[in-house]
Structure 1
Amino acid sequence: MPLLDATAIHPITLPDGTIYRDTVYLKNVIDHPRMEIGEFSYFTHSGKLEDTAQILAPYLGHGCRERLIIGKFAQIARGCYFITSSANHPMSGFTTYPFRIFKPETFGYKDLPVKDTVVGHDVWIGHNAAIMPGVTIGHGAIIGANAVVARDVPAYTVVGGNPARLIRMRYPDEVIAELLALAWWDWPVEKIEANLTALEASDLAGLRRA
């Protein structure tokens, strides 16, 4: 029996056979015109399934201009959320109070710049992390618990703190370059599962042979 089922809503079954219902595959529970989510990316929360999009990105309304893009195999812990561009207030004047949102004909501050928020493949976002507007998180990055990510995060880096800062690189530059070229997350799931030992052991030679 394969470990991964791309069609699952709740992908985790505990050893006693109980389905763990707090963790969901995002792609299978979110239908939102401004969200693009890859297979096997999961989020853990205690809300209703139909509220998942709002819990994850509370300010990304259907009429917003920006997008939230999440790659494959992202791991998003409980309490994480994305503050997307439409949550920004005007900052060029003497006040930041969003007067115009209180009338339908002026709602939205169409002149404010917006930028997509992008999460790469195989990104781990720790408990209660906040991702700020327009941030890009590179493949394989790790975001520490309670981090506030206000700047782009390069691939395969570990960041933490408020504001989030570089803690360390996960691998040397040449290894990162090869991992990005291999792009294991694009392999068929059968090939991924056949090479789990190499993935879990950081066996680059084994991945080359796959």
Structure 2
Amino acid sequence: MHATGPNPNDIHPNPQIKQVRFIKNTLTRSNIIAGDFSYYDDPDESVSFESRVTHHYEFIGDKLMIGKFCAIARGTEFIMNGANHRMGSVTTYPFNIMGGGWELATPELADLPYKGDTVIGNDVWIGQNATIMPGVTIGDGAIIAANATVTKDVPAYHIAGGNPARILRQRFDDELIALLLELKWWDWSPEKITAHLEALCSSDLEQIRALAGRS
């Protein structure tokens, strides 16, 4: 059998596990971008990934960008910049959206806090019920613990957890992290990934060195 992994253009990579869906193939919004093989896991098939990306309005211009091979657990929420209220005025109350003449108090976009795009790297695992706040960047290979609220950037190959989330530890030593970031295995062809699954599923520095041509 010639194994090359699942079809990245399918919705369900494994037809027997319907709760796992590749994100890229379910998107309808142009302001959400996801790479191959990144998935969302939710047992309720009626829940779309896009419903987990809230306060996301095209006129604001922010994007959610997710790399390849990310694993995103059920209950994760990405809060985008449209959730922000004016903070420099006496009240933060959004009178303008209530109507009845209060729309005269509509703020300029420049008056609202804006944190930019939310960027999730490659091979990121986000645990159940995590919340990702606007403008956060989560580096390649990072892990976000269940129930975490991420308000600040998380470096590559670090683990973050808590509310607000803080860095708990590095996953690997500096040398292995540097090699993995150089290797960028997520950009390999499915055939090459398949051929090197043993090394990718280990933490053996010598195997990683060999893959990077450093042995």
- Alpha-carbon distance in structure 2 between the residues aligned to 1:174 and 1:206: 13
Cα deviation digits, residues 18-39 of structure 1 (max 9, x gap): x222211000000211111101
Q: How far is the alpha carbon of 1:208 from its aligned partner?
A: 4.0
Partner residue in 2 for 1:124:
125
1:126-183, CA deviations, whole angstroms, 9 ceiling, x for partnerless residues?
0000001110000000000000001000000011111111111001112111110110
Q: Distance in 1 between matches of 2:73 and 2:116?
A: 24
Q: Displacement, 1:114?
A: 4.1
In the alignment, is the contact (CA less than 8 A) between 2:179 and 2:209 conserved in 1?
Answer: no
Match of 1:29 in 2: 26
Identify which of 9, 12, 31 aligns with 1:10: 12
Q: Is 1:97 aligned with 2:93?
A: yes
4+ runs deviating over 4 angstroms: 103-109
Q: How does 1:39-118 map to 2 (within 5 A)?
A: 39-45=36-42, 46-48=44-46, 51-53=48-50, 55-102=51-98, 109-111=108-110, 112=112, 113-118=114-119
Aligned equivalents of 1:194, 1:43: Cα separation in 2: 26
Which range moves more in the overlay, 94-103 or 121-130? 94-103
Alpha-carbon distance, 1:107 to partner: 6.0
Q: Distance in 2 between matches of 1:42 and 1:22?
A: 10
Match of 1:166 in 2: 167
Count of aligned positions: 203
Match of 1:203 in 2: 204
Letter in 1 for 2:94: P
The 3 A distance-change label for structure 1 pair 108 and 115 is: farther
- CA 1:109–1:147 in structure 2 vs 1: closer, same or farther (change >3 Å)? farther
CA deviations over 1:96-130 (Å, ceiling 9, x no partner): 11122345787674112241000000000000000
Q: Which piece of structure 1 moves more, 40-49 or 131-140?
A: 40-49
AA aligned opposite 1:77? A
Which structure has the larger Rg?
2
Q: 1:197 to 1:61 in 2, by over 3 A?
A: same
Question: Which sections of structure 1, spanning at least 5 residues, go unmatched?
Answer: 14-18
For 1:99 and 1:47, locate their aligned partners in 2 and report how far apart those are by CA, in whole Å.
36
Residues 125 and 143, structure 2, Cα contact 8 Å, conserved in 1:
yes
- Structure 2: which 5+ residue stretches go unaligned? none
TM-score, normalised on structure 2? 0.87
For residues 108 and 26 of structure 1, what CA distance do their matches in structure 2 show? 34
Q: What value does the CA root-mean-square deviation take over the aligned residues? A: 1.9
